[in-house]
Amino acid sequence: MDRRKSLKSIVLGSVAGGLAIHGCRPEPTVPEVGAQEVPMLKWRTPKENEQLAELHAEQFFNPHEAETLTVLCDLILPGSEEYKSASDADVVSFIEFMAKDMPTMQVDLRGGLMWLDHRSNLDHGVEFKGATEAQRKAILDTVAYYDPEVPGNERPFEVNFFSMVRNLTMTGFYTSKIGIEELGYKGNMPNVWDGVPDDVLEQHGVSYDPEWLAKCVDQSKRNIVAEWDENGNL
């Protein structure tokens, strides 16, 4: 199983996900993050629409941070001929929203991006986004793996930062339209129910009332909305 399929299997169980080792695009598209107009959606309460508008009116990541994060997310989930990349799903905008919705993430996210540039400058004399793909991966190899026996609060800051961004990247991608399409998830689908099988009914010594069956297990009426009288009768 390749890495993308392996991590995708985690997504199916918990919302996290994968990578097909093809590298990120040389010049990933950097989304515009921060202030943007949010439509007032009727299925949200007025308070929810108001809170979303307030969040989208703010801006957390500056342009340099957004560019660096785009490069990082595309290293975590790169595109290929078969798969879309993190930036194709505008994952950075998702992380921007999460950082504003959960301010406790902000110090770790901003500090982690600063660490990437600091480490890249020390090792290669260039900011992380300006490093080569091999140089970037060499840096990430030092933080991408950790001992699960070591509690999170005892791990190095940069290790926890990368783990957070990896989880946010997978969550953002696989809850997007293109990510859901990649998983092949179709959501709740109508099915056909013909009642409890006869052998099971017989085993328990019970049976359906013919009148009830005619009303409830008649597939020719499956698209008719059920109605009850004032006494609760179907």
What is the spatial distance between Cα 44 and Cα 196, in angstroms, rounded to a whole number?
38
d(CA 185, CA 10): 14
For residue range 48-68, what is the model confidence (pLDDT) as tens digits?
A: 888 778 777 788 999 999 999
- For residue 119, what are the domain limits? 46-183
**CA-CA distance, 53 to 55, in Å (whole number)?**
5
With a CB cutoff of 8 Å and minimum separation 6, the contacts of 149 are none
CA distance 118 to 159: 15
113, part of any domain: yes
Percentage of residues of the chain with pLDDT beyond 70: 79
Q: Given this model, what pLDDT does residue 53 score?
A: 80
- Under a CB-based contact definition with an 8 Å cutoff, are residues 126 and 120 in contact? yes
Q: Binning pLDDT at 50, 70 and 90, where does residue 125 land?
A: very high
Structure tokens at 221: 């009426």
Is 76 a residue whose pLDDT tops 50? Answer: yes
With beta carbons less than 8 A apart as the criterion, state whether 177 and 183 touch.
Answer: no
Residue range 105-113: mean pLDDT, rounded? 96
One-letter amino acid for residue 199 of the chain:
D
Tell me what pLDDT residue 151 has.
Answer: 85
pLDDT tens for each residue of 127-180: 999 999 999 999 999 999 888 888 888 889 999 999 999 999 999 999 999 999
List pLDDT tens digits, range 205-223. Answer: 999 888 877 777 776 776 7
Instruction: Judge if pTM exceeds 0.75.
Output: no
Mean pLDDT, rounded, of the chain: 81
In angstroms, rounded to a whole number, what is the distance separating the alpha carbons of residues 106 and 99?
6
Identify the band that residue 26 occupies on the pLDDT scale cut at 50, 70 and 90: very low
Structural domain includes residue 209? no
User: Among 121-125, 151-155, 167-171, 224-228, whose mean pLDDT is lowest?
Assistant: 224-228
Termini Cα distance of the chain: 52
Please state, in angstroms and rounded to a whole number, the distance separating the CA atoms of residues 17 and 7: 4
> Looking at residue 34, what is its pLDDT?
45
Domain count of the fold of the chain: 1
Whether 36 shows a pLDDT value over 70: the answer reads no
Query: How many helices and strands in the chain, by DSSP H and E?
Result: 10, 0
206 close to 54: Cβ distance less than 8 angstroms: no
pLDDT at residue 118 tops 90: yes
pLDDT at 7: 55
Other CB atoms within 10 Å distance of the CB of residue 16 = 18
* Cα 122 → chain centroid: 33
Q: Are 220 and 122 in contact (CB under 8 A)?
A: no
